[in-house]
Amino acid sequence: MGLAAMQWQEIIELVRLMRDLDVHIAPSEAADCLTGLQLLGEENYETVIRATLLKDAVKRDLWYKLQDLRSLMKLPDFTDKQAENVSTAALDGGGQEKPGSGGAGGDLHYLLTCSRDHIFRHVKSMVAAQYQQLDGTITEQVKQVKRHYNWFMVLRKLEHERETGQISEYRYLNTMEKLRHVENAIELVLVQLNLEQKGCDMINCLKEHWNVTEKNWINLSQVEMQQVKQLVVKLGRKLAVRYSQKYKTGAHRKILLRPTFQQALKHHGLPIKLVKGRRRVGKPRLVILCDVSRSVARFTHFMLTLVYSFQTKYRQVRSFVFVDHPVEVTRWFRELPLEEALQKINNNTLFSWSGFSDFGNVFFEMNNLVSYLDAQRSHLIIVADARNNWKAPRLDQLERLRRSFKKIWWFNPLPEEQWDQEDCLMSLFMPYLDRAFACPNYRALAGAVAGLR
Amino acid sequence: MQVTPDNLKREFLEKGYWLNEEAAKVLYLAILMEKPLLVEGPAGTGKTMLGEVLAGVMGSDLIRLQCYEGIDESKALFEWDYARQLLYIQSVGSGRWEELEAEIYSEKFLLPRPLLKAITSQQKATLIIDEIDKSDEEFESLLLELLSQWQVSIPQLGTVYAATVPYVIITSNNQRRLSEALKRRCLYLYLDYPQLAEELAAVRCHIPEIEEQFAVKLLQFVQRVRRRELIKPPGTAETIDWIKAIRRLDEDDEESMKTALAALLKEQKDLEKVKSDWKRLWG
């Protein structure tokens, strides 16, 4: 029971920390967790918390990271002797003929053979030694440490060996999994060092770095990108479902017999009041205009995923991508699987003549397409950062678009404080928009999408 | 049967369902805590079947509600039998309206739909709310009162309390985000594609006479196929179908295995991808 009490205290602490990081776990769920632990015993701790507290991937991921961070903080550092042994072992590992061997790549190979705790301690001793030379955000620091380990060279060699059949599929996947463990260890160690040595505010540091819903699009790692992508797909489907059942009443409607009878019951069966059906409102017609220039590539990827996931439910969505010239991609979205459609957009260059965003020209060309788009009945959604590369904004063309379309909404991946910096012309465009949303991360995007009516 | 995780595993196995360790424990918790169990996971991993077999194991009636876009309370909860109400009014002629009203808005004229049936059943029932992610957000809200208080409020009749608390299995293909309010009321189980040993046990449930070495080779292939980026990776049900198909054709012939792939993969592009990469996948 003593151990259970300790576990319970740990659960409460982690639940509180999760809440501080804006990931909510209800008191009733925590109570369920306690009941579950009492019923199944503390040896089933993992099963119980997964069943009662961690009901989606974001919560699961964050929980285990926090748990790892706690155990890392309790883990004793290597003694000098042990550290020396580590270096020798690393050198031995590096001496073998393995992909990426030579230099620090040997360390990485050595780590791939170690236990979890040993990886943590090894990474900790290695990273702590060079910590003062690291700069930037934790994401950038992780990249710098990975460079030290010759990470990308090892990865490329691994891919090559897989493609040429030198290693089996099983070994490839296994090594990739181990690399992910090492990457997690590097990240955790850096978080710990940032907290300890730079005296960062723990909540803000973790919120910025670990809550994928709060993390800026450009800071997402590959694994986090997949997580957020799944969230975006679900968000799109939620939106599609929400709009699928919109009705309104109108004057000329069909008389519904069953509700009329029901009403008549109140008057001894006399149908005094006729009940008329509700008229289904046409789903809003949407025209989406997505900037696919390099500066917004990550965000656009997610927005296109969002558009794709609800376009399959709407028949009246027209999608365009642009850099300096709009190109329609509606057909690709309707006919191809998501990945293939995105790939096709990436490989296409028709939307980029000069390679630089030119909103003025895009507005001008969209005006030429207005009649073909049934603009009077459509909402235009622009997804872009409004960075115009110092070119003419051609506000007259945006004004024409405003008159043509029913509404114009703008989703900007930049935080609002950056809307007037450098070549970003958002404040110039604002008077012609019905609404503009700053969407620097998933949470902001979900909030903006939820607010659309 | 005394409900324990081990007993559940054994009973499920007898009914041809291989319940993994974690699922058995979570199911045990759901039964003991009288909580609905939200089961998420990719298609074909046995989420609905879990509920069906549970009904058999617990000896309860199975009540299933298939969700779809637009489902509402008249399809899920209850509806008044208007035609019978009208006939009744005509048959009794004129009378005091208050008495008549009490009569026609009584349980006699109520058509219970699956949710109401499940909680008014005198014997504990098993309720499967299937593919909840296909329904609308409003429908999720409709479930909240039922799943937390085990009661339903009917405006004309008052509150109907559950005679027995049913075993509730809610399945979702994880296609859209479910509301926090719904998830809060449930225990959660993620049924992923099974590991090799688990899948072997599931295959043996259905094809007990299969030779182990041969089954392992086929399952290793399926596991590799699932790691490829496919439109629809094969679930356990498809794997079993594929193995059955191979056994009907010719076990030793690779061409037969390729022909039988139609039972494993349901998308043309996936089929092409796997056939073109056959050598590496087959290993």
pLDDT score of A249 more than 60: no
Q: For residue A358, which of A419, A291, A302 has the smallest C-alpha distance? A: A291
pLDDT the model gives residue A282: 56
Give me the CATH number covering residue A392: 3.40.50.410
Interface of B with A in 119-138 (CB under 8 A): 133, 135-138
Q: For residue A262, which of B78, B156, B86 has the smallest C-alpha distance? A: B86
CB contact under 8 A, A50 and B22: yes
Residue A288 contacts by C-beta under 8 Å, 6 or more apart in sequence? A307, A317, A318, A319, A320, A381, A383
DSSP run (H or E) holding A14? helix A2-20
Let me know whether A366 and A379 are in one domain: yes
Q: For residue A357, which of A307, A287, A423 has the smallest C-alpha distance? A: A423
pLDDT score of A92 more than 70: no
More confident site: B86 or A201 = B86
Least CB–CB distance from A47: residue in B22, B90, B183? B22
CA distance B97 to chain A (A): 8
What is the arithmetic mean of pLDDT over A335-347? 76
Let me know whether A355 and A414 are in one domain: yes
Last residue of a domain, one of A56, A74, A92: A74
Q: Does a structural domain hold residue A64? A: yes
The hierarchical CATH code for the domain B5-77+113-190 is 3.40.50.300
Q: Does a structural domain hold residue A231? A: no
Taking one residue from A and the other from B, the number of pairs with CB-CB distance under 8 angstroms is 103
CA distance B66 to chain A (A): 16
Between the CA atoms of B157, B163, B167 and B168, what dihedral angle is there, to the nearest 10 degrees?
10
Using a CB-CB cut-off of 8 Å, the residues of chain B touching A262 are 80, 82, 85
Q: Does any CB of chain A come closer than 8 Å to the CB of residue B86?
A: yes
Distance CA A311, CA A334 (A): 7
Let me know whether A260 and A181 are in one domain: no
CB contact under 8 A, B26 and A55: no
CB contact under 8 A, A238 and B177: yes
Per-residue model confidence as pLDDT tens for chain B (283 residues): 889 999 999 999 888 888 989 999 999 999 999 999 999 998 888 899 999 999 999 999 999 999 988 888 888 998 888 888 888 888 887 667 777 888 888 888 889 999 999 999 999 999 999 999 888 878 888 899 888 889 988 888 888 898 999 999 999 987 777 888 999 999 999 998 888 888 898 888 888 888 888 889 899 999 889 888 888 899 888 999 999 888 888 766 778 888 888 899 988 888 988 888 888 787 6
Interface of B with A in 260-279 (CB under 8 A): 269
Query: From residue A152, how far is each of A149, B185, B221 by CA, in Å?
Result: 8, 45, 30
Let me know whether A332 and A265 are in one domain: no
Hey, where are the domains in chain B?
5-77+113-190, 78-112, 196-274
Let me know whether A52 and A113 are in one domain: no
Using a CB-CB cut-off of 8 Å, the residues of chain B touching A28 are 184-185
Q: Does a structural domain hold residue A200? A: yes
Using a CB-CB cut-off of 8 Å, the residues of chain B touching A241 are 69, 135-137, 176
CA distance B46 to chain A (A): 18
CB contact under 8 A, B136 and A48: no
Distance CA B65, CA B67 (A): 6
Q: Does any CB of chain A come closer than 8 Å to the CB of residue B98?
A: no
The chain A residue lying nearest B283, using CA atoms, is A168
Helices (H), ranges, A21-78:
27-40, 45-52, 57-74
**Across chain A, what does the average pLDDT equal?**
78
The chain A residue lying nearest B27, using CA atoms, is A51
Pairing verdict, β A285-291 and A378-383: parallel
Let me know whether A263 and A305 are in one domain: no
CA distance B184 to chain A (A): 6
Beta-sheet strands, E only, within A255-414: 279-280, 285-291, 317-322, 327-328, 378-383, 407-412
CB contact under 8 A, B33 and A44: no
Distance CA A73, CA B173 (A): 38
Using a CB-CB cut-off of 8 Å, the residues of chain A touching B22 are 47, 50
Q: A379 in helix, strand or coil?
A: strand
Mutate to test the interface with A, among B8, B29, B68 (most CBs of A within 10 A): B29
Let me know whether A303 and A433 are in one domain: yes
Least CB–CB distance from B85: residue in A231, A241, A265? A265
DSSP A89: H
Over residues A94-153, the pLDDT tens digits come to: 444 444 344 445 677 777 777 777 788 888 887 877 777 787 778 788 888 888 888 888
Q: Does any CB of chain B come closer than 8 Å to the CB of residue A414?
A: no
Residue span of the structural domain in which A183 resides: 80-211
Q: Radius of gyration (Cα) for chain A, nearest Å?
A: 28
CB contact under 8 A, B190 and A50: yes
Q: Does a structural domain hold residue A229? A: no
Q: A337 in helix, strand or coil?
A: coil
Helices (H), ranges, A104-221:
105-111, 116-130, 138-148, 151-163, 169-197, 202-210
Q: Radius of gyration (Cα) for chain B, nearest Å?
A: 24
CB contact under 8 A, B25 and A47: yes
Distance CA A145, CA A30 (A): 38
Using a CB-CB cut-off of 8 Å, the residues of chain B touching A166 are none
Query: From residue A144, how far is each of A124, A183, A193, B155 by CA, in Å?
Result: 15, 12, 15, 65
Angle of helix A202-210 relative to helix A57-74, nearest 10 degrees, comes to 130
Mutate to test the interface with A, among B149, B176, B277, B281 (most CBs of A within 10 A): B176
Using a CB-CB cut-off of 8 Å, the residues of chain B touching A242 are 136-137
Tokens for A15, please give them: 């639940």
Let me know whether A68 and A110 are in one domain: no
Over residues A44-54, the pLDDT tens digits come to: 989 999 999 99
Interface of A with B in 14-53 (CB under 8 A): 24, 26, 28-29, 32, 35-36, 39-40, 44, 47-48, 50-52
In this predicted structure, which of A326-335, A348-357, A391-400 has the lowest mean pLDDT?
A348-357
Indicate the length of chain B as a whole number: 283
Dihedral sign for Cα B154, B156, B161, B166, please: negative
Distance CA A75, CA A340 (A): 45
More confident site: A427 or A90 = A427
Pairing verdict, β B158-161 and A407-412: unpaired
CB contact under 8 A, A50 and B33: no
- Tally Cβ neighbours within 10 Å of residue B38: 26
pLDDT the model gives residue A313: 62
Per-residue H/E/C for chain B: CCCCHHHHHHHHHHCCCCCCHHHHHHHHHHHHHCCCEEEECCCCCCHHHHHHHHHHHHCCEEEEEECCCCCCHHHHCEEECHHHHHHHHHHHCCCCHHHHHHHHCCHHHEEECHHHHHHHCCCCEEEEEECHHHCCHHHHHHHHHHHHHCEEEECCCEEEECCCCCEEEEEECCCCCCCHHHHHCCEEEECCCCCHHHHHHHHHHHCCCCCHHHHHHHHHHHHHHHHCCCCCCCCHHHHHHHHHHHHHCCCCCHHHHHHHHHHHCCCHHHHHHHHHCHHHHHC
Let me know whether A64 and A88 are in one domain: no
Tokens for B215, please give them: 């089954």
Distance CA A407, CA A412 (A): 16
Query: From residue B146, how far is each of A252, A346, B76, B128, B165 by CA, in Å?
Result: 37, 48, 12, 14, 10
CB contact under 8 A, B137 and A242: yes
Distance CA B110, CA B277 (A): 59
More confident site: A268 or B155 = B155
Distance CA A134, CA A281 (A): 57
Sort A127 into a burial class: Cβ within 10 Å, 0-12 / 13-18 / 19+: buried
Let me know whether A293 and A373 are in one domain: yes
DSSP run (H or E) holding A435? strand A435-438
Distance CA A130, CA A365 (A): 53
More confident site: B25 or A187 = B25
Q: Domains in chain A: how many in total? A: 4
pLDDT the model gives residue B47: 93
Interface of A with B in 238-267 (CB under 8 A): 238, 241-242, 244-245, 258, 261-262, 264-265
What is the arithmetic mean of pLDDT over A383-397? 84
Let me know whether A308 and A439 are in one domain: yes
Let me know whether A346 and A434 are in one domain: yes
Least CB–CB distance from B104: residue in A24, A35, A265? A265
Q: Does a structural domain hold residue A436? A: yes
Residue given tokens 């009584």 in the structure block: B106
Q: What are phi and psi of B157, to 5 degrees?
A: -115, -25
